[in-house]
Each structure stands twice: as structure tokens, then as C-alpha cells.
Chains A and B, each alone.
Chain A
Amino acid sequence: MGNQQSKITGKPDPEMRVRQIENGTVIDHIGSGQALNVLRILRIDEQTKTVVSFVMNTPGSAGPKDIVKIEDRELKSDEVDKISLISPNAVINIIRGYRVVEKHKVALPDKIEGFLRCRNVNCITNANEPAQTRFMVGKSGDIPVLRCAYCDNLMSRNLTDNLI
């Protein structure tokens, strides 16, 4: 799909590489190459019935970025905040009637429950027990660091490898 022009400035608008949506959620400023991981975090897969479109490595003011547009679904903050683990600068736009009615940056949650698997194979959460995983979220510099609330194991990079 080629670039469309902004209705206001006439300049090519990278967000228009995929069509405007009437209602739903646009996730902008996703780190370059992370769009597919965002879809995994949001559990968007072959079962998903709504229209989902995305672009990768599109030019942005702060370098290349990815954008995901999900039609007819307004994401709640506990869903979108998980995105901050892989893309801390992502911005959520809630769209109604083609207009942005809500816009905010994702926020790193204090804890993550039942979403990622602990990397410690000897952790009790990886045994046949009715224990939901729980991680306390901190930071080392700009990088999110997750501490397992059960075994204290730390993990930071490639977190989507551990999606449940």
C-alpha cells in the first residue's frame, strides 16, 4: 500500500500506509520490528475476528517505528501496559468516529500476573501446580527487569519468548 497524504498538511503521512480506522485502537511508536510481538502480547492470532493491520519500519520523527491498528476494539490499560515491557515508548490512541478521543503512552506496570512463564525451569510455577505466575516489575536503566515473585529469578530481554 503506498503513502497517502495528510488531509491537513498535504505531506505524506506514514500512519496512512494502512487505512484510517473508524473505531478501535491505534498503537503508535512501537519499537521498530516489534509489531509482531505486540500482536502476540495482545493475543491477536488466527482466532481474532476483527480487522487488524500493521506496518513495520515506517519512518517516524524519532526513527523507524511500527504501528498496529485494531478495529472495533478499545484496548484497556491492563492489556496495553504489557506492551511497555518490549516497547516502552508506545502510544495508545483510542479512535471513535475517525477521531482520537484518548491518547496516552503505555506505562510499565508494577506487576505482571499470569502472562509470562518463569525462565527458571526449577521454579514451582513450572511444575504441575495451580500457581499463576507473578512478576514484580523494576528497571535496570531503561530496560524492564522482572523478578519472579516465587523463585526470585530475574529476566529482562526477549520477554516475548516466555509468553504463556
Chain B
Amino acid sequence: MTLKKDLISIKHLCKADVEHILKRAESLEDVARGERSLDLLSGYILATLFYEPSTRTRLSFETAMKRLGGTTIDLGSIDISSVSKGETLADTIRVVEGYADCIVLRHPKEGAAAMAAEFTSKPLINAGDGAAHHPTQTLLDLYTMKRESKLEGVKIALAGDLKYGRTVHSLVFALSMFNAKISFVSPPQLAMPDGIKNDLTAMGIEFEETEYIEDVIDDIDVLYMTRIQKERFADINEYNKVAGAYRIEAKYLTGVRDNFIIMHPLPRINEIDPDVDDTPYAKYFEQSFYGVPVRMALLLTLLGK
């Protein structure tokens, strides 16, 4: 295992680490659903420090900790905590490590988690640092593919905002460990950055690029949709044109593979029509749930349980 004290970036994990966490998560799914109780983390406290809004990530960490018998503390509102008085992140971390056994951090600055980990001897998990990393989202994405479609050798299309989405950048790197064949589907102004494509080429990973989902949808195992953010466009008409082109409806799914699934890190806006929710391909709510067993497996691993 290369996984040591902290989880800062998916790039710090080797394939064996990822497989270990995914396997452990599978054995914890019934606990995550509340069908079996487990108190391996009884007496342990998890501190969740969210300097930016979060729903799924924060709630699923809290659920994961509580399902394992542990408890959680949080910063409360940033407006009324010492953060509003100008306390540095480094100081906050040094204080919180005295109260908790493990720290989860989301922060708007890139590199915040890497720096914070240097100021504590307790395990620290990056729950998103600016536009940089979100490794637990990547782990639960991989888990969803493994459980609902296939992971090793998966043919996957990533569609939408591939330029600014930190989720897809981390995911692409992780997929490279599993011999994935990747299609990038985006408007030219939101294409996958050249730096990442150069890395993939250097690693010998196959990928193709297109502007249209219909070019790939019948020949893939996974369609990973992302939200196109309005604020990325100077002209609202340009946004409307692009947003409309990346909207999946049930009628487009007639020729897909048997094991085809649609994933989305959520929240969605318009990119998946609600009529897709009732098809067997919609797996984004399962994906959201899988955050719990995956984070349980990670907490147990980092806490040596």
C-alpha cells in the first residue's frame, strides 16, 4: 500500500490501494444501508471542516462515520467560527487535531489539503481543494463503475465541462490505472486541457475527442455527464446553445449496450432529463449512495481498523 497517513490526491494511490478500498467498500454496503451494525470506530471523532458549501460529500462522510459507531464535529458556519476572525488554516488544523482523530477538509484554495496535512499528525482527507483534487469523489466513481457496469477496460465517455471540472481530471488519471478507453465529449471551449491529454499520451492511454454524444453513445459502457456552468460563458446565447446540445433524454438510449450506465457527480441542472431517471441506465443516485461505503472503507483504512 502506498496510502499512508492522508488522502490528498488520487495520484498518490496505486492500483492496489484503490482495489483495496473498493473491495472493502463492497463488504460494507449493508452497513452503509443500515442493514447491519458495526462499531469499529466507536469512540473515534471525525472533524469535518468545510470552507465551501457541500451537501453530498459532507453528509456522506458524516453518515459513514456514524454507521461505523463514530461521531462527528464540524466548524459550524464559517461566519461565526474563528475563521471569520482571520485565523489561518494552519492554526485551525492545529487546534482541531486536538479534538478529533481524523480530519476531512474542503477549502477553496488549491493545495490547501496538502498544506493542512503538514500541520497535523492525524489522518487528513481532501474533500476538494479549489479546482485541484477531489479524490473521494473519484473513488466512489470507480466503485460505481465496478458495481454497476465494469471498471477494468471500461469504455467511458466524459461529457460536458471537461476544462474546469476537477472531478473529471482526477477521474481520468484514475481510469488510466484500469486500462480504460476514454472519449472526451465537449464543446471546443470546454475541452480537456492539453496538459492532461499529454499525460495520457505519455502513459499510453487511448482516448478520442468529439463534440457530439451521439458519436459515442452506442459503443460505451459508461456515460459520465458533468454540469456545464453558465458562468464559464461570456455570452448567454453561447451557453444556451451548448447546454442544449449536452442534454440526455430517454429517447436517445435505444441503441446502447446492455451494461450501459449514466453517471453524474450531481447536482444536475438540465443535462439529464428526468425521464432518464426511470430507465435502468440511470445510476447517479446509486453513485451518490456509494459515497458512503467508499468513505467508510477509507476511514477504516486510514484509522488502521
Contacts and interface: CB of A to CB of B under 8 A. Distances in A.
Interface string A118-157: 1010111101111100000000000000001111111000
B110 interface: yes
Interface in A48-99: none
Interface string B120-161: 000000000111110000000000000000000000000000
Interface in A15-39: none
B88 A151 contact: no
A150 B111 contact: yes
Interface residues of A, number: 18
A128 B92 CA distance: 13
Contacts of A151: 110-111, 114, 129-130, 132
Contact of A131 (B9, B90, B107): B90
Contacts of B274: none
A5 to B, nearest CB: 52
Contacts of B43: none
Contacts of B130: 122, 151
Given A129-B88, A129-B90, A129-B115, A154 B195 contact: yes
B188 interface: no
Given A151-B111, A151-B130, 17 more contacts: A122-B110, A123-B110, A124-B110, A124-B111, A124-B129, A128-B86, A130-B88, A131-B90, A149-B111, A149-B114, A150-B111, A150-B115, A151-B114, A151-B132, A152-B9, A152-B132, A152-B133
Contacts of A124: 89, 107, 109-112, 114-115, 129
Contacts of B195: 154
B76 interface: no
A11 to B, nearest CB: 48
B95 to A, nearest CB: 14
A130 B118 CA distance: 11
B108 interface: yes
Nearest to A153: B110
A125 B110 CA distance: 9
